[in-house]
A and B are shown apart, each in its own frame.
Chain A
Amino acid sequence: MMTNKTLKTGRMREWLRADTPDSAFQAWSGRAYLGLLRFMKNRLAVLGLLIIVALIVIAVLAPVIAPYDPVETDIGNRLQPLSFTHYLGTDEMGRDIFSRIVFGSRLTLYIISLVAIIAAPVGILVGTVAGYFGGIVDTVLMRITDIFLAFPKLILALAFVSALGPGIENAVIAISITSWPPYARIARAETITIRNCDFIKAVRLQGAGALRIITGHIMPLCLPSLIIRVTLDMAGIILTAAGLGFLGLGAQPPTPEWGAMTAGGRTYIIDHWWLISMPGTAIFIVSLAFNLLGDGLREVLDPRSDN
């Protein structure tokens, strides 16, 4: 006996799955729905998404979740193994590792959000402008992009941090400076493909200026590949940031940055393995999550992916 609710969801599903949609919105929603279904089938990608959501939740609720203050030292209790009072043990200064990891998630989120906010728009802007105008603009912008691409990321970030001094903001700037070139490349490639399409010509005939075309038409079409690339890059950015932290160039102690925590525990690994295992695992899990999510997104959004 079909209730009203099942009738409604049934009709909604039919509407989304219709072979001949009546409006652009319906077509778009239908594709989004099918894409979502395909995405959900990929259990690993969903896992990745859940981990990232968990990361955000933990970061937001850090003061509530963490049982101890992450920077408060307690030398008497140092190097304690895992226990019920200290879930992940204590480090060489007696600080609770679990709490430090929980608060460290805030740093991780802070870093990757900043990098994404800085690098991605710069990359898209450079790429679309270069691709749209072509000619000398393209050549100059692409030369600049190539110059930054020619630097190995970590090394350039190291050079920057050495000049500016250690610190989390400097690390973010350094990483962002090396992260934007691939986005510019992708945006440019997509722009070149799109700019010769008839609908662009049509919009231009209607009197649209370059700014409107680029921001209104070209940029949105670049978004899928860029989203995929940014997500996948996040994994690498986390690793680079952790690497900088490990070398002592990121957030300074006592800030609970995961990479720095690993470095701090280095001398104690023989008998106190949890000092490095825990922050390292955290880095690994988050990086893995972004990789899984990025792969999953690519399968759904990129038609050329291997299937």
Chain B
Amino acid sequence: MSEPLTRTRLIRTLNQTIRILLMLATTFLGLLLITFLIGRIVPIDPVLAVVGDKASPQVYEKARIAMGLHLPLWKQFLIYIGNVVTGDFGTSVLTANPVIDDILRVFPATFELAITATIMGILSGIPLGIFSAVKQGSFFDHVTRVIGLFGYSLPIFWLGLLALMFFYVRLDLLPGPGRVDLFYEGIVTPVTGILMIDSIIAGEWEIFRNAVYHLILPASLLGYYSMAYLSRMTRSFMIEQLRQEYILTARVKGVKEWKVIWGHALGNCAIPLITVIALSFGSLLEGSVLTETVFAWPGLGLYLTNSLLNADMNAVLGSTIVVGAIFLGVNLFSDVLYKVMDPRAR
């Protein structure tokens, strides 16, 4: 295309990028504001928690100034932002580690779980959704919809407990809670934090197999919910596309039916599906909180609930910010991908 056109296109993309970044920044700031405020509405006096209730007024005042609590609220907030951006979430009351270290240590476990579950969801949910849409109204369609419906109605902690009871206790098919058997814990040096990859790197095949076995049940649990969501959305998108006129055009041309569905129709669904998959991943991060509790999976979710039960506010808020940030990142990523892939949005 001609010169001025590429320049205006460049300016336009720059404009869009700046706008997106601005939106991202303001949303993240809003997130921080909310967590900051939550931290301030705690009924426990944070100074007392540090100095103890036997301290003299002078010690109390010194501690208060040291913690920056004498400053006006907005100044405190600015300091808070500065801290967060540099990764300082404070120290965990429970583990006495910097919260950020704790989070970095536990997050890979959750990531492993969520990614595996998302992949399972994609591989099962999308084809199911397509078949459902093509054979709309058939028995298969109804069965799929029922399975999907259950995915929206079953409490995940309950299903997890039942699955554990069934597959672990009754059938002894799969291992119980935890990431690996107690026997194997701590042998593999964490490189990525993802046990499966680390154990391969270390060449410990027994541990690898054990880790995979442990992963199956919690990942399948989350994967089921992902599948329910993805199959429903895929079905909805596909039905919408199959109604369009260009599908008729393809058939008039004599395109084979499978190509009409998997090529033309699915091709048009791909773009909104990416957004949906990103959303699914995000909601799996949420679902992992309860899943990790049931399966004693040492990830961010378990860390969050433990901190909660021990009133470790720094850890709780730190985890909340991290998950919120990931959510934002994932949504941003899917938005960008959407713009890149959809020719109409360019």
The size bracket of the interface on A is: 35 or more
| Chain A residues, Cβ within 8 Å of B18 | none
Known contacts A152-B285, A235-B152, A288-B149; A147/B34 CB under 8 A:
yes
Contact A239 B34 (CB under 8 A): no
Which of A156, A242, A263 has the most chain B CB atoms closer than 10 A to its own CB? A156
B189 to chain A, nearest CB (A): 31
Our pick among B27, B289, B308 for the contact of A146 (Cβ within 8 Å) is B27
| Chain B residues, Cβ within 8 Å of A148 | 34
**Roughly how many angstroms separate A291 CA and B234 CA in the complex, as a whole number?**
18
Contact B30 A147 (CB under 8 A): yes
**Chain A: CB-nearest residue to B237:** A306
**Chain B: CB-nearest residue to A153:** B286
Assess whether A297 is interfacial by the CB under 8 Å rule: no
**Roughly how many angstroms separate A156 CA and B155 CA in the complex, as a whole number?**
19
Contact A284 B35 (CB under 8 A): no
**Roughly how many angstroms separate A156 CA and B164 CA in the complex, as a whole number?**
28
| Chain B residues, Cβ within 8 Å of A236 | 152
Assess whether B158 is interfacial by the CB under 8 Å rule: yes
**Roughly how many angstroms separate A136 CA and B54 CA in the complex, as a whole number?**
52
Contact B327 A159 (CB under 8 A): no
Contact A154 B289 (CB under 8 A): yes
| Chain A residues, Cβ within 8 Å of B164 | 269
Assess whether A243 is interfacial by the CB under 8 Å rule: yes
| Chain A residues, Cβ within 8 Å of B313 | 162-163
A225 to chain B, nearest CB (A): 16
Contact B27 A155 (CB under 8 A): no
Assess whether B215 is interfacial by the CB under 8 Å rule: no
CB-defined interface of A295-307 with B at 8 Å, one 1/0 digit per residue? 1000000000010
Contact B158 A283 (CB under 8 A): yes
Contact A243 B290 (CB under 8 A): yes
Which residues 165-213 in A have Cβ within 8 Å of B in the complex?
A: 165
**Roughly how many angstroms separate A246 CA and B42 CA in the complex, as a whole number?**
22
B35 to chain A, nearest CB (A): 7
CB-defined interface of A268-304 with B at 8 Å, one 1/0 digit per residue? 0110010011001001100110011001000000000
Contact B152 A247 (CB under 8 A): no
Assess whether A57 is interfacial by the CB under 8 Å rule: no
CB-defined interface of B29-62 with A at 8 Å, one 1/0 digit per residue? 0110111001101110000000000000000000
Contact A262 B157 (CB under 8 A): yes
**Chain A: CB-nearest residue to B289:** A154
Q: Which residues of A contact B (CB under 8 A)?
A: 143-144, 146-148, 150-156, 158-165, 235-236, 239, 242-243, 246-249, 259, 262-263, 266, 269-270, 273, 276-277, 280, 283-284, 287-288, 291-292, 295, 306
In the complex, the 9 A-B pairs of residues with the closest C-beta atoms, listed nearest first: A147-B30, A280-B158, A288-B153, A287-B153, A152-B286, A306-B239, A159-B320, A162-B308, A163-B38
Add 12 more A-B contacts to A247-B308, A248-B309, A288-B149 (CB < 8 A). A155-B320, A158-B320, A162-B307, A164-B41, A243-B156, A243-B289, A259-B157, A263-B157, A270-B165, A273-B165, A291-B149, A291-B153
